[in-house]
Structure 1
């Protein structure tokens, strides 16, 4: 077999492999997104828009206010609309290991509620 024929066959094999593998890869990428990912994306978009419109304070300002009253590590932050106003729900593990959920008015940084998440 000549080198030219060998190269052609190798090229055809690679082309065939690509034709077989491409649909499988395309299907794996086309799977529906995780519901939590969709919710997170919506939440991020809504928060950005509310900040842009001046309806809420920047998150770093909210965290600054919360840290003055609650010690510990922030483990989760959610942005929601409750009773017609935007709020941040911030979960903190305090130094004793308890999980505390703090609800903060996103426009004024007022602490609305801070309780153990038992």
Structure 2
């Protein structure tokens, strides 16, 4: 988990406000969904591959 959070925060600096593991994501395998509050006040939702750490999705909420 520390590795995944490091990858997410390197891409989008800020404060992690929520982390969820989706172990049964049929399309991508196990994934983490991470919400980060940026210093500018935006919330970014990211989806990362739990095995490789690859960022699969990134959207501004």
> TM-score, with normalisation over the residues of structure 2?
0.89
Higher-RCO chain (CA-CA 8 Å, sequence separation at least 6): 2
Structure 1 runs (4+) deviating above 3 angstroms are none
Instruction: Map 1:41-60 to 2 at 5 A.
Output: 59-60=1-2
Q: Name 2:15's counterpart in structure 1.
A: 73
What SS is found at the alignment partner of 2:2? helix
Contiguous gaps of at least 5 residues in structure 1: 1-58
CA radius of gyration, larger in: 1
Higher-strand-fraction structure:
2
CA RMSD of aligned residues (A): 1.0
Contact 2:18 2:35 in 1 (8 A): yes
Distance 1:112 1:78 in 2: 15
- Count of paired positions: 59
Matches within 5 A, 1:27-106: 59-80=1-22, 81-82=24-25, 83=27, 85-106=29-50
Q: CA deviation at 1:104?
A: 0.2
Query: Any stretches of 5+ residues in structure 2 without a counterpart?
Result: none
